[in-house]
Amino acid sequence: MNQTIFYSIVGGNEQGRFKVNNSTGVIYIAQPLDYENVTSYILRVQADSLGVVMSNLRVPSKTNTAKVFIDVQDENDHPPVFSRKLYIGGVTEDTKIFSSVLKTVATDKDTGNFSAMAYRLIIPPTAEGQDSFVIEVYTGIIKSAIMFRNMRRSYFKFEVIATDEYGKGFSSRGEVVVSVVNALDMQVVVSTVPPHLVEEKKEELIR
Ligand SMILES: [Ca+2]
Ligand SMILES: [Ca+2]
């Protein structure tokens, strides 16, 4: 008797993501998988003796099915996205060095390290060659790095970069503006923003 087996997928493959080689039983991918949509599949694979298939008979003892569990593994296919395009903060002339000014946040749709951010700033140095602000690499918290005496009404504009895989993956950038204000100004969000930006970013500032 011919023992050749005929394999087919009879369940769990409604979207046609998988195919099976009818004679070897090897399952392979027919369409791209996306971890962000479906993280696992349970296929039901049927094995028939070829004699049953050819004669189109249905003999229960010559047919068997098995469940196949397929886990989809994530890959890094989404870049970071900042919670805002523009972050606005204020410092006062007596703000101490290494005071927290604001927190930037970037997230992405991947899991694990593929969405674990490292942050850095692209910031022009001061006339004295110092960085006026620094960022905590894993928290995204921006801190002051100089004193701002006699600098009221000036502002600092720089970029924040988030890179996933702890700095080895995809990057995206946001903008930061920090104004030097007095204590009273600090209580009024709009006053911490240079006038031309208030005009441009009205929508974002009203919250
Ligand atoms: Ca990612
Ligand atoms: Ca992914």
Q: Which of 23-27, 151-155, 169-173, 196-200 has the lowest mean pLDDT?
A: 196-200
Q: Which SS3 state, helix, strand or coil, does residue 137 take?
A: coil
* CA 111 – ligand 1 centroid, Å: 8
* CA 32 – ligand 1 centroid, Å: 18
Give the pLDDT mean for 182-203.
57
**H helix runs in the chain, sequence order:** 50-55, 164-167, 183-186, 195-200, 202-205
* CA 116 – ligand 1 centroid, Å: 8
> Is 80:107 a contact under the CB 8 Å cutoff?
yes
First to last CA, the chain: 78
Pairing of strands 155-163, 171-181: antiparallel
* CA 146 – ligand 2 centroid, Å: 40
d(Cα 120, Cα 163) in Å, to the nearest integer?
A: 9
Write down the pLDDT at residue 127.
86
Write down the pLDDT at residue 207.
40
Give the pLDDT mean for 78-101.
94
* CA 27 – ligand 1 centroid, Å: 29
Write down the pLDDT at residue 206.
44
* CA 11 – ligand 2 centroid, Å: 26
* Ligand found nearest the CA of 75: 2
Average pLDDT, the chain: 87
* Ligand found nearest the CA of 164: 1
Q: Of the spans 54-58, 168-172, 183-187, which averages the highest pLDDT? A: 168-172
pLDDT in tens, 117-168: 999 999 998 888 889 999 999 999 999 999 999 888 789 999 999 999 999 9
Domains of the chain listed by start with CATH number: 5-71 (2.60.40.60), 81-205 (2.60.40.60)
> Is 118:167 a contact under the CB 8 Å cutoff?
yes
* CA 170 – ligand 1 centroid, Å: 6
Write down the pLDDT at residue 191.
47
Which token pair is 198? 């208030």
